[in-house]
Amino acid sequence: MKISIKNSKEIEKMRVAGKLAAEVLEMITPYVTPGISTGELDKVCFNHIVNTQNAIPANVGYRGYEKTICSSINQVICHGIPDDNRILKEGDILNIDVTVIKDGWHGDTSKMFLVGKCAPHNERLVKITQECLYKGIEVVKPGAYLGDIGYAIQQHAEKNYYSVVEEYCGHGIGNVYHEEPQILHYGKEGKGIKIEEGMCFTIEPMINQGAKYCKTLKDGWTVETRDGRNSAQWEHTIAVQKNGAEILTKRSEEI
């Protein structure tokens, strides 16, 4: 399959879906406190998407997944399953990843939460990982290469003595949740596919404090670091415009 190029009408629909996905993360923020379960956070997000946004939670039923959000805590890299028995505790770092479908179009985004007071090494991981996302976004423009994105992210991660998870990547997105191309979070400048105006894709680096290696738990979803050290992730959906990336899932706390 070729990479789809979206026209301005399609991008407008992506903008609507992206805004709704961003709003879910804004809406859930005050709920993220010590004592709440990830299962409860999931229910609040589901209800908001279905009843307030009149939209569809894309993860529900996706390849057999049953929840609205992925909730990935500490050493969980991604795809943590919300659970009524997993209670957030002070010092946890949590990623909430949500995808909303509106009018057939997808918006996919995630952010990190610091639960109460966190250790400085965790605060630093969360901050540097967000910088990795922004550095990846900054190099996006027509004529640049996908390898430039991975290079920018990997440079920043490794300069800070972190590693980049290689098994999971960003992806094209549109009226299909995961489509071509794959967006690697490591790589070499000038390599890979050339970026064109009208492409829409996610950038979603997963950055580890220790080694890059991961393992999937027996539930078939939860991905953890092999060495048990912590991992962080931030994700945006972007559209490639003439002058660079338009972030479709930007939250009001971002500049």
Query: Footprint of ligand MF3 on this chain (CB under 6 A)?
Result: 59, 62-63, 65, 70, 79, 97, 99, 108, 204, 221, 235
DSSP-derived 3-state class of residue 186? coil
Residue 211 Cβ vs ligand MF3, minimum distance, rounded to whole Å: 22
Which range in 35-43, 137-145, 199-207, 239-247 contacts Co ion by CB under 5 A?
A: 199-207
Q: Give the x-and-dash track for 7-46 against Co ion (CB under 5 A).
A: ----------------------------------------
- Choose from Co ion, ligand MF3, none: what does 79 bind? Cβ within 5-8 Å by kind: ligand MF3
Tell me which DSSP letter residue 29 carries.
G
The closest of 44, 122, 33 to 82, measured between CA atoms, is 44
By CB under 5 A, residue 92 contacts Co ion: no
The closest of 229, 204, 217, 223 to 21, measured between CA atoms, is 204
Cβ proximity to ligand MF3, 25 vs 70, nearer residue:
70
Task: Give the helix, strand, coil percentages of the chain, each rounded to 5.
Answer: 30, 30, 45
Residue 173 Cβ vs ligand MF3, minimum distance, rounded to whole Å: 8
Output phi, psi for 242, to 5 deg: -50, -45
- In contact, 17 and 53? CB cutoff 8 Å: no
Which one among 59, 154, 202, 230 touches Co ion, defined by CB under 5 A? 202
The closest of 65, 64, 67, 66 to 38, measured between CA atoms, is 67
By CB under 5 A, residue 249 contacts Co ion: no
- In contact, 238 and 137? CB cutoff 8 Å: yes
Chain residues that interact with Co ion, rule: CB under 5 A: 97, 108, 202, 235
